[in-house]
Each structure stands twice: as structure tokens, then as C-alpha cells.
Amino acid sequence: MSETVGSRIDCVLVAGGKYHDIDFARLEILKLLAEDERIRTRVFEDYSNLAAIEAADFLVTYTCDVTPPLVQQEALRRFVARGGRWLALHGTNSILRFLEDGRVDSPRWAPHFMETLGSMFVAHPPIAPYTVTVADPEHELVRGVEPFQATDELYLSEYYGKLHVLLETEFEGEARGFVEDQWKAARHPVFYLRPLGEGSVLYLTLGHCRGHYDMQPLMDLYPTVERGSWDLPVYYELLRRALDWAGRATAD
């Protein structure tokens, strides 16, 4: 991120939810935000502080199964449409319900929210390495990035609106454990821009992380610590570029 001293830039970071090591992700994102001394960040667990979001220059979210009520969804849409920039990470587009038979459902309960984001998480196959390729090698957000292997949750989603895909992957097979578990061969966005009015959402699906205690109450002790793409230097490069993009609307 730029080190140029200039006008203050206000950021809101929403980091909260289930089944992920939110503490780890929050700290890593805050450390990246702190690389630019112009950025002042307020941190919340959900979207309820609409005044803070409205006053922010940009929004960053790392959540899982955090669904704002309609009034907050509408405020988020207005924030982007009036020119705001929203960097949405990993599980921001997820709604998860564990069924009695052990499967995971992704109910379509918040279409307004998901349409603003440009996607809704539906399922992912078991975590395993997969190849991420560059869809638009000339775009500044991914210029110079080579294809790479990510051991992360491969998001299988529904998509809305006109998306500018920057990174993508291909999948065909079974998303074991999810209600919608059979997937035909298709390419899925990993990193995309979703223009909306005068602003835009930038969504990066990578970034799974989980610690020993993050599956409670479903499981008292999760057996392994998972860091997903947080172990990859290229992931931090993508985050730095994304945060620079998010703050630049004000800086420019």
C-alpha cells in the first residue's frame, strides 16, 4: 500500500461470524491496513452500526453466516451505489444451516444482500489444492500474478449482475456434505469486481482459516489448525492490492 502522507481515509472492518478463526483474520487484515498511516479503522462484528458505515470511505468484511436484516442490506446497497468501495472476503456471502442429517444447507434468505455482493455461497468440496488462474491479466489488481495452487475452500456459488472476473478456477465433482452436492464442469470466479451504481464490490473468495475452537458448539475441539491461502505470499499481495484499490477512491 502507498506510504504517501495525505488526507485521512476512514475504513470500517466487519469481522465476525462462525466456523472460522475470526481473531486471526481480523488481526491480519488490521496489520495490512496499518501499513498505510492515512487509514483509520473502526472494527465491528456485524453491520448494525450503519452510521459508521455511511461515514466510511471504504468497507472491508471477513464474516461467515452474518446476514444483515433488510434495512442494513439496503444501507449497504446505498453505500456502494453512491460511490463506496467494499472489499468482501471469503465467507461474506454465506448463509449456513446444519441439518439434522448432518448436511449443510445454504438457504436463499437474503437475495438483496447477495445481489449487492454479486454472489451467494452454495457449497464447497473438501479442502484440497486447486489451481487459480488469471482471467484478466491486464487488470492492475492481478497484473503480473501467475497461476498458483491454493489449499483453500473452493467456493461454488450463484452469481448476480455483471461481474468483472479477475481470478478463477474450474471445478467438476461432488461437494460432499452439502445439500447441493453435485456440480457440473464450470469456471468459478475467485476474485471479481461487481460494479454497482457509482461504486463497486471487490470480492475475494480465498482466505479460509480455522482454529481448534472455531467449530463449537458443533465440535468441542477441531483437530487441526487451518490457514488456507493465508500461508501464501500471493494472497497477501492480492490483499494489499485490494486494500489499495479500496482506499484509492478517497486518496485520488
Q: Which three cell numbers stand for residue 97?
A: 444451516
Task: Give the residue-averaged pLDDT of 205-222.
Answer: 97
What's the confidence (pLDDT) of residue 252? 38
Choose among 100, 120, 127, 133: nearest CA to 201.
Answer: 120
Residue in the block written with cell 489451481: 131
| pLDDT greater than 90 at residue 3 | no
Task: Give the residue-averaged pLDDT of 125-134.
Answer: 98
Task: Give the residue-averaged pLDDT of 47-58.
Answer: 98
Task: Give the residue-averaged pLDDT of 113-133.
Answer: 98
- Residue ranges of the alpha helices (H) in the chain? 22-33, 50-55, 70-81, 111-117, 233-251
Calculate what percentage of the chain has a pLDDT beyond 90: 96
| pLDDT greater than 90 at residue 251 | no
**How many angstroms from the chain centroid is the CA of residue 135?**
18
What's the confidence (pLDDT) of residue 215? 96
> How confident is the model over 230-247, as pLDDT tens digits?
999 999 999 999 999 999
Choose among 121, 91, 88: nearest CA to 106.
Answer: 121
Distance between CA atoms of 115 and 123, rounded to whole angstroms? 17
What's the confidence (pLDDT) of residue 5? 62
Burial 47-68 (b: 16+ CB within 10 A, else e): bebbebbeebbbbbbbbbbbbb
CB 116 within 8 A of CB 80: yes
Domains of the chain, with CATH numbers? 9-122+158-168+189-251 (3.40.50.880)
| Residue 188: C-alpha distances to residues 22, 31, 141, 235 (Å) | 25, 29, 18, 18
CB 185 within 8 A of CB 201: no
pTM: 0.95
Strands (DSSP E) found in 69-163: 85-89, 97-98, 104-105, 119-123, 128-134, 148-152, 156-159
CB 170 within 8 A of CB 188: yes
CA pseudo-torsion sign 179, 176, 147, 19: positive
| pLDDT greater than 90 at residue 248 | no
> How confident is the model over 145-194, as pLDDT tens digits?
999 999 999 999 999 999 999 999 999 999 999 999 999 999 999 999 99
> How confident is the model over 25-44, as pLDDT tens digits?
999 999 999 999 999 999 99
